[in-house]
Amino acid sequence: MYSILIVEDEPIIRRGIASLIDFESLGISTVHEVENGEQALQKIREEAPDILLTDINMPKMDGITLAQLVRTEYPQMRIIFLTGYDYVDYLLSAVKIGVEDYILKPVTKSEIEALLVKVVAKLNEEKRQRELLALAGEEDASSGTQHFEKLILEQLSNPNLALGELAKQLGFSTNYLSLLIKKELGMSFQEYVTQQRIQRAKRLLLSTDMKIYEVALAVGIEDMNYFSYRFKSIVGVSPKSFRSGAKI
């Protein structure tokens, strides 16, 4: 059974969804409700629900900002947007974040139930893959780990390196590979890629005369500001300071 958090600043809509939907029949045993993004983030950190159903236009913190934070901290959480016609343009941002789907207001019971059926089916498939992963032999897991690590390191300079593409190369589903990487490396795909890119950047900064922007490009990061930000957040100093010997 799964859990869901409903985030909606209009009480009538929020309570209507919570009371009218037969969540138990959909495989959802726990339903949480809050009225804005700030409360939602706190509740998510306390309860870590499986599904987030959130409005976009809310006071204190809008749904897009909430989804961005959730996607960073809880990448496996399924996110669904509620939105009025006036906010359809915001859905472009939603696509980039990687939300599951959206429903336009006014919502109907059947629309929400149909969408939740799809989401729960995906969660069930992920659970099945986790169980298969747990049953996999250590030898196979080790072999797979060496393979995907090798492919990641070979493609670090590619700014478009993505989990989905790597999964295709290995013949795995995206969810299965995500779980395998987390299990074997103790971190997410993106965390591992970032870590390895910064490690390679450190070596290049110390062993070559490449300009800092050239180092950034060499490790697959096209945005110089983002490279400097990530480097400093991990190493503790800027790339320039690191090269000059402030931290080796």
Local confidence pLDDT in tens for the 248 residues of the chain: 899 999 999 989 899 998 889 999 999 999 999 999 999 999 999 999 999 999 988 888 888 889 888 888 888 899 988 887 665 666 666 666 667 778 888 888 899 999 999 999 988 888 777 655 655 544 444 444 567 888 899 999 999 999 999 988 888 888 888 888 888 888 999 999 999 999 999 889 888 889 999 999 999 999 999 999 999 999 999 999 888 764 44
- The rounded distance, in Å, linking the Cα atoms of 122 and 90 is 25
The rounded Cα 216 to chain-centroid distance in angstroms is 23
Peptide bond into 106 cis (omega under 30): yes
**One CATH from 2.40.50.180, 2.70.180.20, 3.40.50.2300, 3.90.550.10 for 2-131:** 3.40.50.2300
- The rounded distance, in Å, linking the Cα atoms of 210 and 218 is 10
Radius of gyration of the chain from Cα atoms? 21
Residue 212 identity (one-letter amino acid): I
Whether pTM exceeds 0.85: no
Assign a CATH topology to domain 191-243: Arc Repressor Mutant, subunit A (1.10.10)
- The rounded distance, in Å, linking the Cα atoms of 207 and 175 is 37
